[in-house]
Structure 1
Amino acid sequence: MAEINFETEKAEILHTINSETAAAFNRNYELWKSYWVQKAYVTKTYINFSDSTSTETLGWEKVDDFVRVYIEEHPEPEPLPKSITDIEVRLYNSGAFVNYEVNDIGKRKKRETRLMEKENGQWKIAGMHTSIY
């Protein structure tokens, strides 16, 4: 079995996270979905503590529909947020648990968690949880 280079894996995960965000903000739907695992167990949740709203999207078809419809209804690109540079990573064979804090464009603090899986040598998102404070 090949030796895992933690820093290389972390850099590749960081690249996937930032690239997926850029694709979404640039409204590049096809590129956006290439960064996601496309299986029934995929999840995407948002909890916004500042306005007491939340969404939970379960399964690739629903995650895909949610983002595709959003991009269709909001086709103009948005300014890109600052790239993520500091993440905590726990590697588990071909999976990883990632979390980090970031301030969004509105200066709200967000805690984000990603469940990552390596498919065909590329890290992809299998789960996303965002808490907005």
Structure 2
Amino acid sequence: MKIRNILPFSLLTLFIFASCNEKKNSETNRAVGEQINPELEKQAILDRLNNETKDAFKRDYEAWTKNWVHDPSISKVYMNFVDSTFSESIGWKEISQFVKTFIEEHPEPEPVPKLLNKINVRLYGNGAWVTYEQQDSIRGLKRETRLMEKINGEWKIAGMQTTIYGFEMD
């Protein structure tokens, strides 16, 4: 008879303990969420994108690699409407080799485009969706989309789509 009385009491105690723990986790998550400053995150992403651009145009392969997530599922896509070309690279190994080969074949640095000061950012926890336009002195107007991931406190590029529109003809 005593065992029957202990079982409901034990279940009630377990339920109360679990409810308290759930509330604590919820409060912890809320506190972490409140600490995120969207403007600081946006600035960190902007800095990363500008560094990646500078490194690529200066042909600094080693510095360029530090801007990217090194993962087999990342992607990089170029669509060039000016010359009707398209390229797609999937995975860090392929993207890295593509850029390394490009730098070896085109070792002379190019003029760095005007650095970004305006980007659209949607934050999703440790991820961000970024869009922007950039004028390239050689290729003209480019619209870019970047998928960013925050790894060990640093934003890195996990996906890139660049559409090149060229220069407007008057």
Q: TM class by shorter-chain length?
A: over 0.9
Q: Which secondary structure does the structure 1 equivalent of 2:94 belong to? A: helix
CA separation of 1:72/1:106 partners in 2, compared to 1, >3 Å: closer, same or farther?
closer
Task: Give SS of 1:10's match.
Answer: helix
What amino acid is the match of 1:78?
E
Q: Which residue of 2 aligns with 1:115?
A: 147
**1:56, 1:107 → 2: CA distance?**
18
Displaced runs of 4 or more, over 2 A: none
For the Cα contact (< 8 Å) 2:139–2:164, is it kept in 1? no
Task: Specify the alignment match of 1:28 in structure 2.
Answer: 60
TM-score (normalizing by structure 2): 0.75
2:114 maps to: 82
Q: Which moved more, 1:26-35 or 1:67-76?
A: 67-76
How does 1:1-133 map onto structure 2 within 5 Å? 1=32, 3-106=35-138, 108-133=140-165
Q: Which amino acid aligns with 1:65?
A: Q
Report the Cα offset of residue 106 of structure 1.
Answer: 3.4
User: Which AA in structure 1 matches 2:65?
Assistant: K
CA deviation string 1:89-110 (max 9, x = no partner): 0000000000011221136221
Q: Secondary structure at the match of 2:147?
A: strand
Q: Deviations over 1:73-122 (max 9, x none)?
A: 22221111100111000000000000011221136221100000011111
> TM-score, normalised to structure 1's length?
0.96
Q: Which runs of 5+ in 2 are unaligned?
A: 1-31, 166-170
Partners of 1:15 and 1:97 in 2: how far apart? 15
- Could you list the per-position Cα deviations for residues 46-98 of structure 1 after superposition, in whole angstroms to 9, with x for gaps in the alignment? 11112211101111100000001111122221111100111000000000000
Structure with the larger helix share? 2
- Larger strand fraction of residues: 1
Aligned pairs, number: 133
Give the share of equivalent positions with the same residue, in percent: 54
Distance of aligned partners of 1:58 and 1:107 in 2 relative to their CA distance in 1, 3 Å threshold:
closer
Looking at both structures, which has the greater relative contact order when contacts are Cα pairs under 8 Å and sequence separation is at least 6?
1
Q: What SS class does the counterpart of residue 67 from structure 1 fall into? A: helix
Structure 2 counterpart SS, 1:32? helix
**CA separation of 1:78 and 1:107: change in aligned 2, threshold 3 A:** closer
